[in-house]
Amino acid sequence: MNETPRPQFENVEEVVRYQLSRRSVVGGGAAAAMAAFLAACSGGGGSYSDKPADNKPAATKSVQIGKANIPVPREQTVIVGQVEYTVFDSFNGMIPNGTPGGAGVELTTEPLFYLSFATGKLTPWLVTEYKYNDDHTELTFKFDPKAHWNDGKPLGANDFKFTVMLLKDRPDLFGGGGELKEFVKEIEVPDPQTAVVKFLKPTPRFHYNFISAIAGPPVGIMPEHIWKSQDPTKFKDNPPVHSGPYKLKQAIRNQKMFVWEKDPNYWNKDKLDVKPQYVVFQSTSKQLDQASLAFERAEFDVGSVDEPHAKQLRNTGYPSLVTTQFHDPNPRVMWLNCDPSRGVMAESKMRWAINYCLDREKIGKSIWPVPVPPAQYPWADYPTNDKWKNDELANKYKFEYNPDKATQLLDEIAPKNAAGKRSYKGKEINLEIITVSPVDGPEYAMANVLKADLAKVGVPATLRSLAGSVHDEKFQRGEYDIDSNWEGIEIDPEQIYTDWESSKAQPVGKNAAQKNKMRFRNPEFDKISAELAALDPESEEAKPLLAKALEIYFQELPLLPVIQTGYPQYFNTTFWKGWPTDDDLYEVPLNWWQHFIFVLGRIESTGQKGPA
């Protein structure tokens, strides 16, 4: 008998929709539907890749292999060139500077589900299924009975309950507070593999907190037996007890290197058998010529080269370079601090003046490593996000580079004093712009362009590139006016808006824990966000609320989207082959995403031996 589909939220065809039309567990049919949908959206290629790059030049030269400075056998190791690391003895991801970003921790950390933006496939991982009750006041997860932590202890429903209940009342911790506090009443554990979440009010999207869709999930599960006796603001979790296919072998501070070793007792080896015995993440040289030379000598397998140097390699017939395009779901943005303590920044007219000083076309064409389009919405321009656009509002609140309009607004709120300096409430304006990007990085260059254009309309600003730990502290504490950074996109607009609610705006000087880092406050916006939280975002009831929330956003501008971002990824085939390509984008190719473990499960050794 055919069952008539019921209008629900999880149409896994996008992960943006909520619960399958049939209230059933996640399964292969859902994943297949998702894959088919995304394939259709992306022109039949099943990926969000840009147009294929010319990465198959004629091989007219040989590779002069250099000796990689690593403590493990080269031919058994994938070496990833990454950012400047400053944290080496802590892996606590719940606190600022508690864990090194992009250092390979992602290879050890697993979510309840993976969603691949390369293939559209939704894969249950730590859990085998989930199910909401009819009125979305209860959610049941079934954990895989095989799952265990890398110290051999079982992983299951009790760990889930411990994590959620710990974070629920801790908005000072990353992943804490927010939806956990707003919706979770209690969690029952009838058996070691079953967790039943009972809600304070209906919610159709709670499971999104546990899907690794972009980089990693909002909430990662922690082992209760490790954390239950620890202070989460001080515990370093070193070495990290996680569940992934790799374990930490060593962190070498003086070489800015992390060495991860394949876990022989990995619980899910029947589904994922990673090929390299070791993966090394190492900070690359700050000198681009030197870093690129290390790639050319096959001292790195991933990264360590930028687009200008990669172009040189292609033009000279270098045989081992694979360039893979991927459209990152993370627009580059300017975070604007709306707190009254920041003076003129609390004025929406000031934020609009800054917006008129942003030359997005210039930034997209000349600053990003590859040409990219300007951004107006606070989400990526994926086909699956088109439904959230509102052309009428976008035209009404048009984003344009217009210094004259900026000047008009500034003359209203911050006229020039007798000394010719713009002042607000008797105090001369001087904005503080920060970024985590190095001075040769694109985010710094974007901020520098903005700084120059602000100066032309009479707004002086300082611009500083800050080391990761210093930047994170100032950013989370609200000690900035403008931050040139990335946005961090969720799955539908409400997941963005809920973080901007007034209740999550900490005073300047207090850690925001990733929530409302702009200190934005708007009671009407709060009310709309709360209503949207209980609705199918594609329902008729949600449409006027989404439109109103978007209009308030355009009016207030707590965040300025600047450009969409294209990410060319560079792989060396000297030691390993089978990397994702534009023709075969079988997985997200970004090494700082949790999904990179599936790349490591697909590549194969070429048999090349390392130099003696």
CATH of the domain spanning 113-228 = 3.90.76.10
- Res 526 pLDDT > 50: yes
Alpha-carbon span 337 to 383, nearest angstrom: 30
**Sign of the dihedral through C-alpha 245, 302, 35, 562:** positive
Helix (H), strand (E) at residue 472 = helix 468-477
**pLDDT at residue number 434:** 98
The model's pLDDT over 80-99, given as tens digits with 9 standing for 90+, comes to 998 888 899 999 999 888 99
Residue, of 327 and 299, whose pLDDT is higher = 299
Q: Nearest CA to 559 among 372, 298, 335, 350?
A: 335
Side-chain-side CA neighbours of 351 within 13 Å: the count stands at 26
Place of tokens 């000087």: 509
Tokens of 581: 């390509």
Give mean pLDDT, residues 560-566: 92
pLDDT at 119: 81
Stretch among 219-228, 244-253, 533-542 having the lowest mean pLDDT: 533-542
Q: Return the bridge partners of 550, or none.
A: none
Answer for the pair 204, 536: CB distance below 8 angstroms, yes or no: yes
The distance from CA 533 to its chain's CA centroid, rounded to whole angstroms, is: 22
* CB-neighbour burial class of residue 133 (10 A; exposed 0-12, middle 13-18, buried 19+): middle
21-30, 219-228, 534-543: least confidently modelled range: 21-30
pLDDT at site 56: 52
Q: For residue 537, give the nearest of 491, 502, 499, 503 by alpha carbon.
A: 491
Which class would CATH give 332-563? alpha beta
Mean pLDDT of the chain: 88
How confident is the model at residue 489, as a pLDDT?
63
Please indicate whether residue 1 or residue 221 has the higher confidence score (pLDDT): 221
- What pLDDT is stored for residue 59 in this prediction? 62
- Give the pLDDT mean for 574-580: 98
**Please, which residues have CB within 8 angstroms of residue 462's CB and are 6 or more apart in sequence?**
430, 431, 432, 433
Q: Which residues pair with 11 in a beta bridge?
A: none
pLDDT above 50 (res 392) = yes
Alpha-carbon distance 504 to 516, whole Å? 6
Statement: residue 345 has pLDDT above 60: yes
Distance CA 68, CA 259 (A): 13
Kindly state the average pLDDT of the residues 388-402.
96
pLDDT in tens, 256-266: 999 999 999 99
Which residue ranges make up each domain of the chain? 74-87+244-328+566-605, 113-228, 332-563
Q: Which range among 202-211, 288-297, 535-544, 550-559 has the greatest average pLDDT?
A: 550-559
Question: For residue 35, which amino acid is it?
Answer: A
Q: How far apart are CA 546 and CA 544, in angstroms?
A: 5
- The predicted-structure confidence for 467-503, as pLDDT tens digits, reads as follows 888 999 999 999 999 999 988 766 689 989 999 999 9
pLDDT band at 384 (very low <50, low <70, confident <90, very high): low
Report d(CA 595, CA 114) in Å as an integer. Answer: 7
pLDDT-based confidence at residue 449 (cuts at 50, 70, 90): very high
Q: What percent of the chain has pLDDT over 90?
A: 72
CATH code of the region 74-87+244-328+566-605: 3.40.190.10
* Contact of 38 with 384, CB cutoff 8 Å: yes
Mutual angle of helices 542-556 and 348-356, in 10-degree steps? 80
Q: Is the pLDDT of residue 193 over 90?
A: yes
Nearest residue to 20 via CA among 5, 2, 35? 5
State CA 534 to chain mean position distance.
25
- pTM of the entire predicted model: 0.69
pLDDT band of 58, cuts 50, 70, 90 = low
Helix (H) or strand (E) holding 392: helix 391-396
